[in-house]
């Protein structure tokens, strides 16, 4: 690495950016050794990536030509959005056979375009292709712009596609950060695909030309560092932070999800043993009470706390057939998990004191006033 390259990589520490005050008090020797470590790590990353790309890059893909036009890159990138590479190959070749240039595409009607696109789905994407072709012809003399910011102004062209066109077709040093790239860089340098990557600093520090870097990272991310990474077969594992930490940051995410699942399960178990407070009513005008002395809803034991169980309990105890609603509240009443349930009588003559809606509402307020827990 020459002095210029070393300077370009006047690197931040991808794992841990040292603050100025952290550097105070360190000897020059320590600072130099930290810097050397960082440089070595990035150097290692690019060297292994480059090796992999030379050995196993997907050079057979029709859009991986040494010299490729912006139109061809754009067609491939738009088709590859949300669609598998193997499906796109046939479409790409047929499409370019029929519309070999942006001018020929711009002159096509939707009806002419559709047979060469139908099946790829996302038809808004297809409509944007036609719009973009027309804009390129009418506003850019039939040539795709070279500047990323201008490319991003074309219909359906986002930052990733713009960067891919600029690098693959025009050799610009723009890194196309798609999910593959983010996953590989995030894991290797930071230990997680969800890492917050300082993109511009990376762009400045990479030495491989963006055209090669983008292609190599795309291929590496779809062959080795996939969703379930094949770390055992990975040439980068010796310095990969994800590998060193055994993926703990990402499995931490999973752990978090599984602990939430466990909490949910224990919550479900808790309510499985809940008693039922049942408000028996007729058209929400009359409310039946289990006591004569004042309005009191019915208490059904936990052993009968399903809708079928409640019906069975009322049938046996009072000879009534009920229509039972799902619980509308969960409270802890006198230390017991309690489900609040409404029900109406379908068959049978009730022999209970009757009260008005305000008694029901007052009772309900008392329950919730004690603290609703769900």
- The contact set with ligand SF4 (CB under 6 A) reads 184, 187-188, 224-225, 229-231, 234, 236-237, 240, 242-243
CA–CA separation, 70 vs 90, rounded Å?
Answer: 19
Q: Which is nearer to ligand SF4, 41 or 363 (CB)?
A: 41
Least Cβ distance, residue 19 to ligand SF4 (angstroms): 27
Least Cβ distance, residue 202 to ligand SF4 (angstroms): 15
Least Cβ distance, residue 224 to ligand SF4 (angstroms): 5
The alpha carbon of 287 is separated from its chain's Cα centroid by a whole number of angstroms, namely: 49
Q: Which is nearer to ligand SF4, 117 or 243 (CB)?
A: 243
Q: Which is nearer to ligand SF4, 129 or 224 (CB)?
A: 224
Helices 70-80 and 123-139, packing angle to 10 deg: 160
Q: Which is nearer to ligand SF4, 225 or 274 (CB)?
A: 225
The candidate with the shortest Cα–Cα distance to 161, out of 226, 87, 76, 93, is 76
With a CB cutoff of 8 Å and minimum separation 6, the contacts of 167 are 173, 174, 175, 176, 210, 211, 214
With a CB cutoff of 8 Å and minimum separation 6, the contacts of 83 are 120, 121
Q: Which is nearer to ligand SF4, 244 or 264 (CB)?
A: 244
Least Cβ distance, residue 179 to ligand SF4 (angstroms): 13
CA–CA separation, 334 vs 338, rounded Å?
Answer: 9
With a CB cutoff of 8 Å and minimum separation 6, the contacts of 176 are 160, 161, 163, 164, 167, 210, 214, 218
Residue 277 and residue 340 in contact, taking contact as beta carbons nearer than 8 Å: yes
The residues facing 279 across adjacent strands are: 342
Query: Burial of 306 by CB count in 10 Å (0-12 exposed, 13-18 middle, 19+ buried)?
Result: middle
CA–CA separation, 319 vs 328, rounded Å?
Answer: 25
Q: Which of 77, 143, 245, 334 is catalytic?
A: 77
CA–CA separation, 86 vs 109, rounded Å?
Answer: 27
CA–CA separation, 13 vs 203, rounded Å?
Answer: 14
φ and ψ of 280, to 5 deg:
-95, 125
Least Cβ distance, residue 183 to ligand SF4 (angstroms): 8
DSSP 372: B
Is position 77 annotated as part of the catalytic site?
A: yes
Least Cβ distance, residue 205 to ligand SF4 (angstroms): 17
Least Cβ distance, residue 115 to ligand SF4 (angstroms): 41
Q: Which is nearer to ligand SF4, 229 or 337 (CB)?
A: 229
Residues taking part in catalysis: 77
């Amino acid at each position: 690495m020459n002095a210029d390259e070393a300077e370009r990589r006047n690197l931040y520490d991808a794992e841990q950016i040292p603050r100025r005050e952290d550097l105070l008090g360190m000897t020059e020797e320590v600072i130099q050794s930290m810097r050397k470590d960082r440089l070595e790590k990035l150097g290692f990353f690019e060297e292994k990536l480059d090796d992999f790309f030379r050995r196993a890059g997907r050079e057979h893909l029709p859009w991986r030509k040494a010299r490729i036009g912006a139109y061809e890159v754009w067609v491939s990138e738009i088709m590859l959005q949300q669609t598998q590479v193997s499906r796109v190959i046939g479409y790409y070749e047929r499409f370019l056979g029929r519309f070999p240039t942006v001018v020929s595409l711009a002159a096509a009607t939707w009806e002419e375009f559709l047979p060469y696109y139908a099946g790829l789905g996302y038809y808004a994407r297809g409509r944007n292709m036609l719009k973009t072709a027309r804009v390129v012809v009418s506003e850019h003399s039939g040539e795709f712009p070279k500047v990323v910011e201008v490319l991003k102004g074309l219909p359906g062209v986002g930052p990733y596609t713009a960067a891919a066109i600029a690098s693959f077709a025009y050799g610009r040093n723009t890194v196309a950060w798609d999910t593959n790239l983010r996953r590989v860089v995030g894991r290797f340098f930071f230990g997680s695909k969800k890492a917050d990557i300082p993109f511009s600093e990376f762009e400045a520090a990479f030495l491989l030309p963006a055209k090669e870097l983008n292609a190599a990272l795309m291929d590496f991310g779809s062959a080795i560092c996939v969703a379930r990474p094949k770390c055992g077969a990975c040439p980068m594992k010796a310095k990969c932070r994800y590998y060193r930490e055994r993926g703990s940051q990402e499995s931490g995410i999973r752990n978090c999800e599984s602990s939430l699942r466990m909490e949910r399960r224990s919550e479900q178990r808790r309510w499985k043993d809940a008693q039922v407070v049942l408000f028996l009513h007729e058209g929400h005008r009359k409310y039946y009470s289990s006591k004569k002395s004042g309005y009191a809803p019915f208490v059904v034991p936990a052993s009968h706390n399903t809708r079928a169980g409640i019906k069975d309990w009322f049938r046996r105890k009072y000879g009534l057939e009920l229509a039972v609603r799902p619980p509308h509240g969960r409270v802890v009443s006198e230390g017991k998990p309690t489900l609040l349930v409404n029900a109406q009588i379908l068959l049978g003559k009730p022999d209970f004191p009757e009260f008005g809606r305000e008694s029901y509402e007052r009772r309900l307020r008392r329950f919730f006033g004690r603290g609703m827990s769900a």
